[in-house]
């Protein structure tokens, strides 16, 4: 990894929306001002500073359809201490993310169209 940079406002907004979907509040979590990009930022995945060796599960998954109509699975994970671990993006064809999703473009399981 070692692609440390400041967290972006659009990332915070996305995290906030994901947490709200599972009735959690972003203010209940320590969000580091610096994040570590996976794969040089190709797909948008970032480490939020939790204990990478203590993965304790997914908090929520959502989907997004990128500009090239390729689905992207977005997962917010936590560590054993209950801290946010990763904001993970998986574009199903492994190509580069074209447009970063806005909270209003997220699709959650069980919503119309799913």
pLDDT tens-place string over residues 33-90: 999 998 876 788 999 987 778 999 999 999 999 999 999 999 999 999 989 999 999 9
Task: Please tell me the total number of residues recorded for the chain in this structure.
Answer: 114
pLDDT at 114 over 70: no
Q: What is the pTM of this model?
A: 0.89
- Select from 76, 14, 22 the least CA-distant residue to 50: 76
Q: Over the stretch 34-49, which tens digit does the pLDDT of each residue have?
A: 999 988 767 889 999 8
Question: Please, which residues bridge with residue 9 across strands?
Answer: none
C-alpha to C-alpha distances, 89 to 37, 72, 92, 112, nearest whole angstrom = 11, 7, 9, 22
């Amino acid at each position: 990894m070692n692609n440390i940079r400041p967290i972006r406002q659009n990332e915070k907004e996305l995290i906030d929306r994901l947490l709200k979907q599972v009735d959690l509040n972003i203010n209940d979590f320590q969000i580091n001002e610096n994040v570590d990009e996976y794969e040089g930022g190709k797909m948008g995945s970032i480490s939020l500073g939790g204990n990478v060796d203590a993965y304790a599960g997914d908090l929520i998954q959502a989907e997004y359809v990128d500009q090239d109509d390729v689905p992207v699975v977005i997962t917010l994970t936590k560590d054993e201490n209950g801290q946010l671990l990763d904001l993970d993006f998986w574009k199903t064809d492994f190509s580069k993310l074209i447009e970063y999703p806005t909270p209003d473009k997220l699709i959650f399981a069980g919503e119309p169209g799913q």
